[in-house]
Structure 1
């Protein structure tokens, strides 16, 4: 009863959904995984794939059921429920952890990754493992990183081919101080606003453009009103799959090993799905006549981020992680 009071209606709703799944014949050792994305989304399908791998590795002892489309609540609620063991597994964005686990701020820094391949090398390596390990102090076990796409600038006015082209332009950004500071450092004007207002704001000239990944540029219809897209990839923020430490502690060492292996083995599958989704969106957007700038000199963009890094890197540990990421080839 105290646990339900802690979570309020969100936990009660989650418990009801989970109970329905159990009555539907879910196995006793079926782990419950939450995702806010819809069914069929690459992260959802990746965790389903992890479940198949896990069943094979444990001889059918452990499986996974994915509750997609925010059935168990929005990310903030599901993070708390995962910490308390109400939810076993959770695919979430790194953003909500930025004020809780300082290491998660690093992949959110603008231009910290030179490319998607660079991000993969870093997150698959020692730095990525350090970030995953940092979750343990917060009643979570970090299992793997999934892709969240690379975000780039698009606008209705002109092709952006250099940092000078950004000067004075107005761009919508997520409601984040770091991203406001990023746009200012590039010489443009940042306008935080809800995502749903972007299309009409570009159309009416309130803003010149926004920034996002290929699938979002496509599904939002923004390419219809902002036909200039420059692939500067200023943000390449991965998403994370975590497990409740309470659930983890209840598994045998062999089962824990199988969970970690299954999570890691699901990553290439997720990346494959994401790449296919990006390709489909890119083909649609190019066919619609959008102008895509693919070749730009990123160095001036990266150099402009010094005041942003100075502001947000407040510990020697974080500074050291950035140095190692920049040295990763």
Structure 2
């Protein structure tokens, strides 16, 4: 039995291949474990399916940023220090600015279009950047997101003026600043504390994170995704290429098959996350509103003059990526 020379992969010796794992892969993510978060469940499904395949691989899941801080996971995967992560790709846009396209305001708009994007030239180009950086995509996931505030409901651009707001990435930050907001940058896992301590007046993040992090305890108004969701973020399950290359073809095939099961689970859950978001916030006494088509178009006009323009000018191939995404019907 050969030893896998991969950082972050432990090899258990002197056990029968058919009955125990030869390789233990470490999977990290920032969300609470065992509390119904769909991203945690995707990773748990991956772990269960790989173990069922009986190919000598076990996945140990470390939820709640217990192994790596949220934004440190990308570098850890590239170096082979971390094997697997459910990771918001835009968190790595500082290293690969192309990734900002996966959290570009208004580029997705609804769940059906998100599914079509997965098989588009746009995503083929994004995945090429991921692969070239030393990371492999095991499962796709697009999460819709919302806005919440403890000061004023956020609908049209003028409602954000004067609010200190958290946005997940630079493209959203540029649009919100264009609408008159101030920005405080932080991972979604820190939004609750930011609102609680007065660092933040408002935030946007995924429907899943709004519920998992109990943001309803700190805000008075939620702007749900609805038919006009400005906020969609690509949060795939990723794997270090160094770890991947240390596996046999049979083990790689088992991981990809497990990733497909996890992805299919997510597709079935995606729209339900928005419904759960609305019910949870309404039950907590939070006012729930929705952007109108006019609100959405007003934001999109600002986005085109800020984040879209900046992305096209400063990111190599940026305009091409935007055009490819917008070409998906």
Q: How would you bin the TM-score normalised by the shorter chain?
A: 0.7 to 0.9
SS in structure 2 at match of 1:237: strand
Indicate how the Cα distance of structure 1 residues 94 and 228 shifts in structure 2: closer, same or farther if over 3 A, else same: closer
Identify the residue that residue 85 of structure 2 maps to in structure 1: 90
2:39 match: 43
1:98, distance to aligned residue in structure 2 (A): 0.5
Listed as ranges, the matches of 1:161-180 within 5 Å are 161-163=155-157, 165-166=158-159, 168-174=161-167, 177-180=170-173
Residue aligned with 1:267, SS:
helix
Partner of 1:244: 240
Distance 1:91 1:306, change over 3 A: same
Instruction: For residue 185 of structure 1, report the CA deviation from its aligned partner.
Output: 2.1
**By how many angstroms is 1:76 displaced?**
4.0
**Is the 1:199–1:225 contact (alpha carbons within 8 Å) kept by the matching residues of 2?**
no
Shift of 1:19: 9.4
Separation (CA, whole Å) in 1 of partners of 2:101 and 2:168: 18
Contact between 1:38 and 1:69, CA under 8 Å: does it hold in 2? yes
Q: Tell which deviates more after alignment, 276-285 or 29-38.
A: 276-285
RMSD: 3.3
Q: Would you say 1:100 and 2:95 are equivalent positions?
A: yes
What is the TM-score with the length of structure 2 in the denominator? 0.77
Q: Does 1:305 align with 2:293?
A: no
| Deviation (angstroms), 1:237 | 0.9
Is 2:224 aligned against 1:227? no
Task: Find the partner of 1:69 among 53, 64, 73.
Answer: 64
Distance of 2:159 and 2:255 partners within structure 1: 46
| Displacement after TM superposition at 1:288 (Å) | 4.1
Give the secondary structure class of the aligned counterpart of 2:95.
Answer: coil
Deviations 1:205-252 (A, max 9, x none): x97643334454454444664235354532211212221212222223
Larger deviation, residues 219-228 vs 252-261? 219-228
1:197 is aligned to 2:191: no
Q: TM-score, normalised by structure 1?
A: 0.77
Ranges in structure 2 where 5+ consecutive residues have no aligned partner: 1-6
* Structure-1 residue corresponding to 2:204: 211
Q: Offset of 1:296 from its aligned partner?
A: 0.6
Deviates more, 1:217-226 or 1:102-111: 217-226
Q: 1:253 and 2:249 equivalent?
A: yes
Relative to structure 1, the CA distance from residue 193 to residue 114 in structure 2 (aligned partners, 3 Å threshold; closer, same or farther) is closer
Query: Which of 172, 175, 192 is the equivalent residue of 1:182?
Result: 175
Cα deviation, 1:123-182, whole Å, max 9, x if unaligned, reads 34442233223222222222222344413354533x55544x436342412485543321
Once residues 98 and 215 of structure 2 are traced to their aligned partners in structure 1, the CA distance between those partners, rounded to angstroms, is 34
| Partner of residue 138, structure 1 | 133
How far, CA to CA, are the matches of 1:65 and 1:229 in structure 2?
36
Q: After superposition, give the CA deviation of every residue in 1:46-68 in whole Å (9 maximum; x if it has no partner).
A: 12212333344x44433322122
**Residue 42 of structure 1: CA displacement?**
1.9
How many angstroms apart in 2 are the aligned matches of 1:79 and 1:130?
Answer: 18
Does residue 152 (structure 1) correspond to residue 152 (structure 2)? The answer is: no
Q: Structure 1 residue 27 and structure 2 residue 27: aligned?
A: no
TM-superposition CA deviations, 1:23-53 (whole Å, max 9, x none): 9x97213322222222123222212212333
**Distance change in 2, residues 1:147/1:26 (3 Å):** farther
- The aligned counterpart of 2:3 is none
Q: Could you tell me how far 1:73 is from its partner in structure 2?
A: 1.9
CA–CA separation in structure 2 for the residues paired with 1:324 and 1:148: 20
